[in-house]
């Protein structure tokens, strides 16, 4: 019997979504659990799978439409038998010569979804379709051989064999070249810039990011304080332990695990920074779910490392890597993004020397990391060159006073500059 494709539950507080693209068109066969349509919510993209095998009979909502949870998107019908072939006219039958009886051929099965399509995300499939690339031919570099968008962009199909050049016609027989058509005159718009402008609709996620950033600035008494960290000790420790760490744990030892542990240690010392303001009440959280800001294609997302205080350096590094890959592949789930008690953002990976991060509401604190740069500093009365990093803490002044904010940053600085203490205080 026909099955309605409905917008699934999208998670807490999310009631609608935008149809990004239909992955099938009416008349296409679909397999059970095969993605049929991709939706975009405020936080993640969601692929809606077919709950039964059959044929996509109709589509009721189009790409770009905003749809609500439970709304019907299309209809999947059970497999339809092929229509009988038309009979030839009697005259043609009489005149046709007798032919040897042919073996009966079974009806062709619906074309299966290729292995490449199954192991590729929606962005990779879109890029492949735009470039007329068969995903089965693209080597996947993601987990389990998953085809990533960059794999599609880097793929170079084999060049077809060159056809022999036709013999040149005698000069006398060659027609004179036609004059090139005159270029159309550029239409000058009201601003004098003509057609050198492009109007692009903001994605749903970018609209949400814009709205929430403005809300954070309008609803919180936001202030930022700064400090700087000598990264020599951490860099020396990484250089000495990096190979052994990666060999033992299968993941690189980066800076984020050190800062995550340092933040947890500082939050334990200053619990008001790990809180949330709810009306006239302050909710102080005695667990440490640290959001790690990740720059994705359509905007910043903040997946959460749960219970960071209970995880080892290797577990934190592995989880951050997995969450970053999921953000790149657009496979983050709502559970990866919900909650979070404090956020770390690292603008240094893009070369930022200093910035003032904006709060991730309703959190009351966010730490900004920046580029490591060698600078002259005074140590024991002597000028020396050290790898230094500026750090910034933006905080809600309604909850956190300036004294506590400065002391919080100083505690982070102490833990990073003496990383052995992270084993005790982190």
- Determine how β-strand 16-22 pairs with β-strand 35-40: antiparallel
Phi-psi region of 309 (alpha: psi -120 to 50; beta: other; left: phi over 0): alpha
For the residues of 209-232, what is the DSSP string, one character each? HHHHHHHHHHHS-EEEEEEEEE-H
Catalytic residue ranges: 397, 401
Find out whether 61 and 83 touch, Cβ atoms under 8 Å: no
Find out whether 377 and 383 touch, Cβ atoms under 8 Å: yes
Which residues, including other chains, have CB under 8 Å from residue 292's CB and lie 6 or more apart?
A: 256, 260, 302, 303, 304, 305, 320, 323, 324, 343, 344
Taking the CB of residue 76, how many other CB atoms lie within 10 A of it? 22
For the residues of 303-328, what is the DSSP string, one character each? -EETTGGGS-HHHHHHHHHHHHHHHH
Residue 115 per-residue DSSP state = H
Find out whether 123 and 153 touch, Cβ atoms under 8 Å: no
Query: E strands along 102-206, which residues?
Result: none
Which residues partner with 344 through β-bridges?
Answer: 292, 367
């Amino acid at each position: 019997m026909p099955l309605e494709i409905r917008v699934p539950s999208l998670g807490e507080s999310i009631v609608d979504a935008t149809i990004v693209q239909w992955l099938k068109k009416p008349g296409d066969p679909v397999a059970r659990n095969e993605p049929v349509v991709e939706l975009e919510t405020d936080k993640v993209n969601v692929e809606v799978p077919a709950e039964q095998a059959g044929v996509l009979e109709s589509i009721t909502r189009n790409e770009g439409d905003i749809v609500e949870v439970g709304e019907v998107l299309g209809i999947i019908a059970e497999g339809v038998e092929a229509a009988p072939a038309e009979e030839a006219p009697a005259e043609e039958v009489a005149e046709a010569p007798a032919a040897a009886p042919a073996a009966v051929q079974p009806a062709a099965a619906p074309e299966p979804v290729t292995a490449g399509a199954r192991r590729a995300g929606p962005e990779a499939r879109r890029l492949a379709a735009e470039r007329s690339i068969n995903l089965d031919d693209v080597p996947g570099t993601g987990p389990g051989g998953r085809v990533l968008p960059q794999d599609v962009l880097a793929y170079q199909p084999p060049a077809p064999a060159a056809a022999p050049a036709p013999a040149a016609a005698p000069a006398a027989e060659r027609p004179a070249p036609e004059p090139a058509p005159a270029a159309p005159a550029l239409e000058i718009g009201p601003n004098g810039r003509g057609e050198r402008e492009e109007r692009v609709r903001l994605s749903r996620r970018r609209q949400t990011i814009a709205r929430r950033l403005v809300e954070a600035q309008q609803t919180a008494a936001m202030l930022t304080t700064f400090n700087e960290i000598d990264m020599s000790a951490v860099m020396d420790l990484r250089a000495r332990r990096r190979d052994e760490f990666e060999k033992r744990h299968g993941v690189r030892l980066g800076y984020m695990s050190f800062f995550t542990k340092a933040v947890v240690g500082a939050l334990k010392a200053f619990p008001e920074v790990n809180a949330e303001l709810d009306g006239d009440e302050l909710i102080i959280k005695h667990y440490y779910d640290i959001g790690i800001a990740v720059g994705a294609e359509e905007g910043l997302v903040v997946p959460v490392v749960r219970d960071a205080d209970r995880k080892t350096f290797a577990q934190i590094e592995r989880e951050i890597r997995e969450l970053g890959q999921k953000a790149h592949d657009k496979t983050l789930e709502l559970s990866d993004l919900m909650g979070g008690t404090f956020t770390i953002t690292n603008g240094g990976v893009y070369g930022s020397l200093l910035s003032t991060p904006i709060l991730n509401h309703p959190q009351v604190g966010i730490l900004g990391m920046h580029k490591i740069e060698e600078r002259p500093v005074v140590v024991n009365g002597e000028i020396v060159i050290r790898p230094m990093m500026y750090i910034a803490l933006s905080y809600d002044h309604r909850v956190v006073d300036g004294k506590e904010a400065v002391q919080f940053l100083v505690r982070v600085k102490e833990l990073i500059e003496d990383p052995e203490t992270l084993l005790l205080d982190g």
